[in-house]
Amino acid sequence: MTRFFLLTGGLVLVGLLGFVIDAQSRIPVERPAEPTGPQPIFAPGRIEGATPEIELRFRLAGRVDAILVAEGQPVQKGDVLARLDPAEHQHEVALAQAELDLAEAQLERLLNGPRPQERAEARALHQAKQAELERAQLTWERIRELRDSRAVSQQDADNHRTLVSSLTAELEAAKSRVELLEAPARPDEVVMAEARIAAAQARLELARVQFDRTMLRAPSAGQILEIDAEPGELTGPDSPEPVIVLVDTTKCQVRAFVEELDAPRVQVGMPATITADGLPDPLHGRVTRLSPRMTPKSLWSDDPAERYDTKTREVWIELENAQNLVVGLRVDVEVEPTLTDIARGTPGP
């Protein structure tokens, strides 16, 4: 019996000793306190210019004659960036200008009327025909008197009679010629001449527009990001690659991609902090614009636990005092909801 009690007491002692050792070996776990304020929103993003990247192509098909800029070069609105071979369009402009000059000269000639020499010639011809007619009429009067006394043949009488008729018609024609040359231009002829001038002007403007399209101009101030053409290459509006990619870098912004769970919490005016491995100091800014819809995720971080099959909401952040930033640089964005945002109805985490 004594042995039984000793064995039982030993087992109880060993159990108590094991319990004490186990309790002392455990590290107490301290659970963090539940957050009470608004939680920050984290999202990947990238640096952009004041405008998205602008892909520039020629509006005409042709052969590249010259590239007039280099990558990284700043340009102003209206600067010529590249040029197509302009020879064909230069000739079209010259031809249209010649047609306009011809139409204007025709209208001027119409308004001025015939030359003075032509008018003088017509009046002299009219006077000559009138004199011939008068002489023929006098001769006819004498012949008609002689015909009655049968001093002339009937054939001679008929010849002089028809001569008077012929000269009378020629006199009328000469008179009409004088009236035509001395009359002003008809209104309908002036309208037709002015219409020809308007058509020639339109053709000239069209030729000039086509000629201007041989030059690729900057639609806004910015910086050349990429050049994808060389002199001698064929290009056009349907080319798969743009000739030049331009972006306005006068002011930079950040486009962040907020995932679905945090998308409803973002509000315009929220402060944001931007960091990147290539930036020595964090950048600061505020949310200025929100996309009204969710789109498939297009920018990813290096987090192995990141989801790839989610959607994101695009958020634009205007930076404060940001200079010399690289367009396209991937950054990490932290948006800080404030108590004011919560009061406006921003849902909590």
Q: pLDDT digits over 139-167, tens only? A: 777 777 666 666 667 776 777 778 778 87
The pLDDT of residue 349 is 38
Domain identity same for 135 and 282: no
Which residues, other chains included, contact 28 with Cβ-Cβ below 8 Å and sequence gap of 6+? none
Q: Classify residue 21: in a domain, yes or no.
A: no
| Partners of 258 in the β-ladder | 313
Q: Classify residue 110: in a domain, yes or no.
A: yes
Q: Are 330 and 46 in contact (CB under 8 A)?
A: yes
Q: Are 39 and 349 in contact (CB under 8 A)?
A: yes
Domain identity same for 105 and 176: yes
* Separation CA 171–CA 130 (nearest Å): 6
The pLDDT of residue 7 is 65
Domain identity same for 278 and 325: yes
Q: Classify residue 308: in a domain, yes or no.
A: yes
**pLDDT beneath 50: ranges in the chain:** 345-349
The pLDDT of residue 344 is 52
The pLDDT of residue 346 is 46
The pLDDT of residue 1 is 59
**CA proximity to 312, closest of 301, 302, 304, 320:** 301
The pLDDT of residue 270 is 93
Domain identity same for 204 and 156: yes
The pLDDT of residue 210 is 95
Q: pLDDT digits over 277-313, tens only? A: 878 889 999 999 999 999 888 776 666 666 677 889 9
Domain identity same for 76 and 220: yes
Rounded to two decimals, the pTM is 0.61
Strand intervals (E) in the chain: 41-48, 54-56, 62-67, 74-75, 80-84, 215-217, 222-227, 234-235, 244-247, 253-259, 271-275, 283-296, 311-319, 330-335
Domain identity same for 181 and 116: yes
Q: Classify residue 18: in a domain, yes or no.
A: no
- Of 160, 191, 208, the last residue of a domain is 208
Domain count, the chain: 3
Domain harbouring 240, CATH code: 2.40.50.100
Q: Classify residue 73: in a domain, yes or no.
A: yes
The pLDDT of residue 17 is 66
30: exposed, middle or buried (Cβ count in 10 Å: 0-12, 13-18, 19+): exposed
The pLDDT of residue 347 is 45
Q: Classify residue 330: in a domain, yes or no.
A: yes
Domain harbouring 270, CATH code: 2.40.30.170
Domain identity same for 156 and 197: yes
Domain of residue 183 covers 95-208
DSSP secondary-structure letter at 185?
Answer: P
Domain identity same for 294 and 152: no
